[in-house]
Amino acid sequence: MSQSLSIQQFPLKKFQSLLALLILCVVLSFMTDKFFTADNGLNVLRQVAVNVCIATGMTLVVLTAGIDLSVGSVLALCGALTAGLFKNGLSFPANDLFVGFTLLGAILGGLLLGSLLGWFNGFTVTKFNVPPFVATLAMLTIARGLTMLYTKGHPISNLGADFAFIGAGIVFGIPVPVWIAAMVVLIAVFITQKTKLGRYIYAIGGNEQAAKLSGINIRKVKLTVYAMAGAMAALGGVIVTARLDSAQPNAGISYELDAIAAVVIGGTSLSGGKGSVWGTVMGAIIIGVLNNGLVLLNVSPFWQQVVKGGVILLAVVIDKMGENRE
């Protein structure tokens, strides 16, 4: 009996967050007629796109029993670099050299920096055995400081229509940020469910010692995962910058908390090895719908924070109750 119960555990967990989302949507539809419209739906999706990108990377890290607190700062630094490269290029006065960047080149530059910063997180975690919480907390401060240095504390604005299209454009009726987030999610789902790397991620989070003894190169997997989380945060940075048509030095502050909330509400265990990218997507949309619904219902922003915290707590309690039943 206990076996058949545990077989059903995974799909049940997947549907838990989907079910919560559906209930939330039904309730909100009854409470306000502004909620259940195509426009508002796309609006919510556009708003959650950035968090989905970040939280997807966060999920990969959390599945290895790690955490990445630096994503908000990495987002800001990479957004600023992308904007800076695109607008001003790189100049090396000493060598009388100037390098200009196309939009794609500038974005790739931002993504490259994001993966490097993430890789460095993974490096400190694996090489010096620094707890991920501390290693990425340090990066949170470092990357924010570097953002201030690079932007000299001023926004980099007026990036032009092409750049703004990434934030505001619509393709086939769907906002561009939603397309980008969907692509990130599909890649992450593919990695976690269809590849060797995905299995390694789950094995490391489930039992790192056993994974090591199975011949898995723990360091390589973790470096890859942190680098991917950095790249996904950087992509979030590109979207945020495009939406505001400006790279703000203080962009992304406390975004790591929304990302972790999405991961947790989506049913991924912070102790690693259990959870899914789909769950996180559900979690991010739940947070988005909740924010949106509370705004539509004219609930004070202060209460919104209280409610959001309550939902996170509820999600974890339900999760723990499920674990105890096992």
Partner 1 sequence: MGAGRTELMETLFGLHPKNSTGEIKIKEKSIKIKSPSAAITAGIALVPEDRKLHGLVLGQTIKSNISITILKQLESWGMLSRKKEKILTTGYIHKLGIKTSSDQAMAKSLSGGNQQKIVLAKWLATNPQILLLDEPTRGIDINAKAEIYQLMKQLAAGGMGIIMISSELPEILAVSDRVLVMCEGELTADVPIEEATEAGLLKYALHKNEPAA
Closest by CA to 143, choosing from 241, 246, 305, 252, is 252
243 binds partner 1 (CB under 8 A): no
11 binds partner 1 (CB under 8 A): no
207 binds partner 1 (CB under 8 A): yes
In this complex, which beta carbon is closest to partner 1, that of residue 189 or of residue 296? 189
2 binds partner 1 (CB under 8 A): yes
**Count of CB atoms within 10 A of residue 253's CB?**
14
In this complex, which beta carbon is closest to partner 1, that of residue 34 or of residue 212? 212
- 97 three-class SS: strand
Count of helices and strands (H, E) across the chain: 13, 6
Q: Given candidates 20, 74, 216, 263, which one binds partner 1 under the rule CB under 8 A?
A: 216
40 binds partner 1 (CB under 8 A): no
94 binds partner 1 (CB under 8 A): no
Structure tokens at 325: 């039943």
Structure tokens at 124: 């400190």
129 binds partner 1 (CB under 8 A): no
Q: Please report which helix (H) or strand (E) contains residue 90, including its range.
A: strand 90-92
3 binds partner 1 (CB under 8 A): yes
202 binds partner 1 (CB under 8 A): yes
In this complex, which beta carbon is closest to partner 1, that of residue 209 or of residue 254? 209
DSSP string, 230-259: HHHHHHHHHHHHHHHTEE-TTTTTTHHHHH
211 binds partner 1 (CB under 8 A): yes
Q: Given candidates 37, 157, 195, 305, which one binds partner 1 under the rule CB under 8 A?
A: 195
Per-state percent for the chain, helix, strand, coil, to nearest 5: 75, 5, 20
- Phi, psi (degrees; rounded to nearest 5) at 216: -75, 135
213 binds partner 1 (CB under 8 A): yes
- Phi, psi (degrees; rounded to nearest 5) at 170: -130, 130
223 binds partner 1 (CB under 8 A): no
46 binds partner 1 (CB under 8 A): no
305 binds partner 1 (CB under 8 A): no
The CA-CA-CA angle for residues 278, 124, 55, to 5°, reads 20
Q: Given candidates 28, 178, 203, 281, which one binds partner 1 under the rule CB under 8 A?
A: 203
Residues in 267-286 at the binding interface with partner 1, rule: CB under 8 A = 273-274
215 binds partner 1 (CB under 8 A): yes
Structure tokens at 47: 């708003």
Cβ neighbourhood burial of 8 (10 Å; 0-12, 13-18, 19+): exposed
The site for partner 1 (CB under 8 A) is made up of 2-4, 6-7, 9, 194-196, 199-200, 202-203, 206-207, 209-217, 273-274
